[in-house]
């Protein structure tokens, strides 16, 4: 057999992500990996484990907990973190509400999605994290298409699209002054389909809500929302049982599901490959607020 | 096995770059319905005749409002043959910085010209920057062929003109494709309007161009990124484990290879090349692996592992082409900066600015006192510590560096090494 010295695109993406994760571990004092139990953060954690094997991942993971979770997710999160042997830091939105730092939104369309930014920034500040790994990808949304792999945030955690460092070759500049931090996106160049194919190739476990299951749901703005005590329904909302799966694991109040019969990874990949709606457009009520919704939230310090 | 191809696009305003990218994404089904709906809605609101595919690639609100692209935006699409990453950069003169950034990792440069206007100053600049950044493949897309009656003569004229200019550059693979981005001719499918054109469509070219041998497979280079030491007292299997993690930057590494570690100069042998999926029998760029050596020698981040009989230059005096990216500062003899080269940081002193290059005419101004934003020049540097480098032409990973302002921490310069300074 002759060697052609070619890498498949998934192996090239993996090599790039591992390189980025190791750079951060080498150059920063207090990195942290954001971990929600969702598929992107599962891939992130998996890559971090691979980057340092056979040693342990040399940084903790942090979950920004809105308190509005799918029950399955928290159990899954704890199991995975224990298996990897990482330290888990939980930054809780409820704590900020209880302390009067945030106001719990109310009403039928209330969601804690927006106020979780404050909790995330508090978690970063209190733990003096100087590099924060996120699973965001450039293919997710227009404003993200220009995001750097090392994204600079000022002392307020804010993102200024005009004040970002040019990023050349694979030479990342992670120098910061005290109080500033860098958000690091090792999955920048992955697409949703790459994530799914990698999950299948590597046998990465996922929480069950990613696969088709029967659930009581109701239709809102063209999305199937889970019927949950956390979401105030109006009388017009009709609850019915459908076979659905979720494409992201956000806050219950703003994460919609899609109708699906895909109970295996292969079936999910086939559906993803055939889908004609972007992940966020289909299932994230928060991004529909306005065309510039994501850009505004990024400026505030959201991912 | 689907490979990944990174391409950088450039074109002057209104040459049709956004339309062309929009069409590639649209025809390869990388555009989702909700994105298309948003674009159709905007087009309708603006009273456009047809859906403006260019809107698909517009990013931030500031750009939407001003109607221009201001930064590097990355787009993705895939065919069964390849996955493509497009670094989309604007063409204005003030954005040389962005073009250089987008070009730094590209395998292929796609330059657009308007068939009516022919080769403009900007097209020449884009070609020059592509060659300066060492992009191995260059494709000139002659767009808006529908507006010149699909004329073969016009196509040949532009081709000849561009070729004459490209002779002055270091371009190894140059192709010409006549297209109409608006109507889709020769973008994905071959055009029925230009039967005189015998080549394949743009997408066909992107799928077939051979890139595997563009990487340096001769000079083994392994910059050490991180030392892995599990130090797990209870696990005997890994108790004494000591591995050097990094991304291969050139050549092929194999267990049994006799290697030298720089700067110490100690020699050893590769005992194993590990990955989380188990050991491998060889490693090449851009694989991320962990190398173990047979001898216990002191190796740390910033060191370089190379073959004993094929070593990089080791030195503190370097000649390089530098593109200045600082907005508030300039580069001048005497400037002191932080420098990052492979996994090594040092400080650098600018000893001399030999000349500033006019990116449009390639004229060398030997009297230029400084380099300011978007200017490129030949610089002599002295670093506080030795770097282990190759000529950029020979290896883009070990031949490149960035310069960082020590007070603002901003990345202010991108460098391509020409070689060690002659004494
Ligand atoms: N007739 C014709 N018009 C084109 C073609 N490609 C682009 N255009 C038009 O040229 C204008 C500029 O295109 P755009 O993609 O925005 O250019 P950019 O500034 O290079 O991104 C738009 O009005 C397009 O519809 C083409 O192949 N033929």
The ipTM of this complex is 0.92
Q: pLDDT tens digits for B193-212?
A: 999 999 999 999 999 999 98
Name every chain A residue with its beta carbon within 8 A of the beta carbon of B339.
none
* CA proximity to A181, closest of A159, A205, A207: A159
CA distances from B86 to B55, B82, B105, B205 (A): 16, 13, 11, 15
CB count within 10 Å of CB A288 equals 15
Put simply, the answer to whether A54 touches B238 (Cβ < 8 Å) is: yes
pLDDT more than 90, % of chain A: 47
B46 versus B329: the higher-pLDDT residue is: B329
* B23 CA distance to ligand 1 middle (Å): 11
Max mean pLDDT range (A205-214, B203-212, B335-344): B335-344
User: What digits encode the pLDDT tens for the residues B73-87?
Assistant: 888 888 889 999 999
Q: Which of A1, A16, A18, A166 to mutate to test the interface with B (most CBs of B within 10 A)?
A: A166
Tokens 């001399």 belong to B352
Q: Is the pLDDT of residue B277 over 70?
A: yes
Q: Give me A83's structure tokens.
A: 């298996």
- Tell me the DSSP string of A269-292: HHHHHH--S-HHHHHBGGGGS-TT
**B254 — phi, psi (to 5°)?**
-140, 150
Quick one: DSSP state of residue A179?
A: T
Shortest Cα distance, chain A CAs vs residue B117, angstroms: 30
Residues pairing with B268 in the sheet: B259
**Dihedral, B86, B87, B88, B91 alpha carbons, nearest 10:** -140
Is the pLDDT at B290 greater than 60? The verdict is yes
CA dihedral of A155, A159, A161, A165, whole degrees rounded to 10: 50
Q: How confident is the model at residue A194 (pLDDT cuts 50, 70, 90)?
A: very high
> Considering only CB atoms, which chain A residues are within 8 Å of B97?
166
Closest by Cβ to B104, choosing from A18, A169, A173: A169
- Tell me whether residues A15 and B286 touch, CB distance under 8 A: yes
Q: How far is the CA of B184 from the centre of ligand 1 (A)?
A: 12
Higher pLDDT residue, B238 or A151? A151
From chain A, the residues in CB contact with B284 under 8 A are 5
**CB-defined site of ligand 1, < 6 Å:** B 11, 13-19, 54, 143-144, 146-147, 180-182
Looking at the predicted structure, is the pLDDT value of residue B125 above 80?
A: yes
Q: Taking a C-beta distance cutoff of 8 angstroms, is the pair A225, A256 a contact?
A: yes
Judge whether A222 is closer than 8 Å to chain B, CB to CB: no
Residue B286, preceding peptide bond in cis (omega within 30° of 0): yes
Residues of chain B with pLDDT > 90, as a percent, come to: 70
Of A38-52, A199-213, B90-104, B334-348, least confident by mean pLDDT is B90-104
Using the beta-carbon criterion (under 8 Å), do B104 and A276 form an inter-chain contact? no
How would residue B26 be classed by pLDDT, with cut points 50, 70 and 90? confident
Query: Where residue A286 falls among pLDDT bands split at 50, 70, 90?
Result: very low
């Amino acid at each position: 057999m002759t060697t052609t010295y070619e890498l498949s695109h998934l192996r090239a993406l993996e090599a790039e992500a591992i390189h980025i994760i190791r750079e951060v571990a080498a150059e920063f004092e207090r990195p942290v990996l954001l971990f929600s139990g969702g598929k992107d953060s599962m891939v992130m954690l998996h890559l971090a484990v691979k980057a340092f094997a056979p040693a342990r991942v040399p940084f903790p993971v942090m979950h920004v907990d809105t308190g509005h979770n799918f029950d399955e997710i928290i159990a899954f999160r704890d199991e995975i973190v224990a298996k990897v042997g990482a330290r888990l830091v939980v930054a809780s939105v409820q704590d900020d509400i209880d302390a009067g730092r945030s106001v719990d939104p109310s009403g039928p369309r209330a969601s804690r999605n927006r106020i979780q930014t404050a909790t995330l920034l508090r978690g970063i500040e209190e733990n003096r994290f100087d590099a924060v790994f996120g699973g965001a990808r450039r293919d997710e949304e227009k404003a993200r298409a220009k995001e750097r792999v090392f994204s600079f945030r000022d002392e307020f955690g804010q993102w200024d699209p005009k004040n970002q460092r040019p990023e050349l070759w694979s030479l990342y500049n992670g120098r910061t002054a005290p109080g500033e931090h860098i958000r690091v996106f090792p999955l920048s160049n992955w697409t949703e389909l790459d994530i799914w194919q990698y999950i299948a190739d590597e046998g990465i476990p996922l929480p069950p809500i990613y696969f088709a299951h029967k659930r009581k749901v109701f239709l809102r703005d063209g999305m199937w929302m889970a019927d949950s005590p956390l979401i105030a329904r109006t009388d017009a909302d009709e609850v019915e049982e459908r076979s659905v799966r979720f494409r992201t694991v956000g806050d219950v109040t703003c994460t919609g599901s899609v109708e699906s019969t895909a109970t295996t990874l292969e079936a999910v990949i086939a559906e993803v490959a055939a889908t004609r709606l972007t992940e966020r457009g289909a299932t994230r009520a928060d991004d529909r607020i306005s065309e510039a919704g994501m850009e505004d939230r990024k400026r505030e310090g959201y991912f | 096995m689907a490979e990944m191809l990174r391409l950088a696009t450039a074109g002057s305003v209104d040459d049709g770059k956004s339309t062309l990218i929009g069409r590639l994404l649209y025809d390869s089904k990388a555009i989702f319905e909700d994105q298309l709906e948003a674009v159709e809605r905007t087009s309708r609101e603006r009273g456009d005749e047809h859906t403006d595919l260019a809107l698909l690639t517009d990013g931030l609100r500031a750009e939407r409002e001003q109607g221009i692209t201001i930064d590097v935006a990355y787009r993705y699409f895939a065919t069964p043959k390849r996955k493509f990453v497009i670094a989309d950069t604007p063409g204005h003169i003030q954005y040389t910085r962005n073009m250089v950034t987008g070009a730094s990792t590209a395998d292929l440069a796609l330059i657009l010209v308007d068939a009516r206007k022919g080769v403009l100053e900007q097209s020449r600049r884009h070609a020059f920057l592509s060659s300066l950044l060492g992009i191995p493949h260059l494709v000139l897309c002659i767009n808006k062929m529908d507006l010149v009656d699909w004329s073969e003569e016009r196509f040949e004229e532009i081709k000849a003109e561009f070729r004459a200019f490209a002779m002055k550059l270091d371009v190894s693979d140059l192709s010409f494709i006549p297209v109409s981005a608006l109507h889709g001719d020769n973008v994905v499918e071959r055009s029925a309007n230009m039967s005189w054109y015998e080549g394949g469509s743009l997408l066909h070219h992107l799928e077939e161009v051979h890139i595997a041998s563009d990487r340096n497979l001769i000079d083994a280079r392994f910059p050490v990124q991180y030392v892995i030491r599990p130090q797990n007292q209870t696990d005997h299997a890994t108790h004494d484990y000591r591995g050097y993690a990094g991304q291969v930057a050139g050549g092929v590494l194999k267990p049994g290879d006799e290697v030298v570690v720089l700067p110490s100069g100690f020699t050893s042998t590769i005992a194993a090349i590990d990955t989380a999926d188990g050991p491998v029998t060889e490693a090449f760029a851009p694989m991320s692996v962990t190398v173990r050596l047979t001898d216990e020698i002191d190796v740390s981040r910033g060191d370089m592992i190379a073959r004993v009989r094929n070593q990089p230059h080791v030195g503190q005096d370097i000649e390089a082409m530098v593109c200045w990216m600082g907005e508030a500062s300039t580069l001048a003899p005497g400037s002191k900066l932080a420098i990052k080269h492979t996994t090594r940081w040092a400080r650098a002193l600018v000893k001399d600015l030999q000349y500033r290059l006019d990116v449009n005419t390639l004229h060398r101004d030997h009297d230029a006192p400084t380099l300011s934003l978007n200017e490129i020049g030949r610089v002599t540097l002295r670093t506080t510590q030795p770097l282990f480098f190759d000529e950029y032409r020979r290896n883009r990973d070990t031949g490149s560096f960035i310069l960082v302002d020590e007070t603002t921490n901003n990345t202010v310069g991108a460098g391509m090494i020409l070689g060690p300074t002659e004494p």
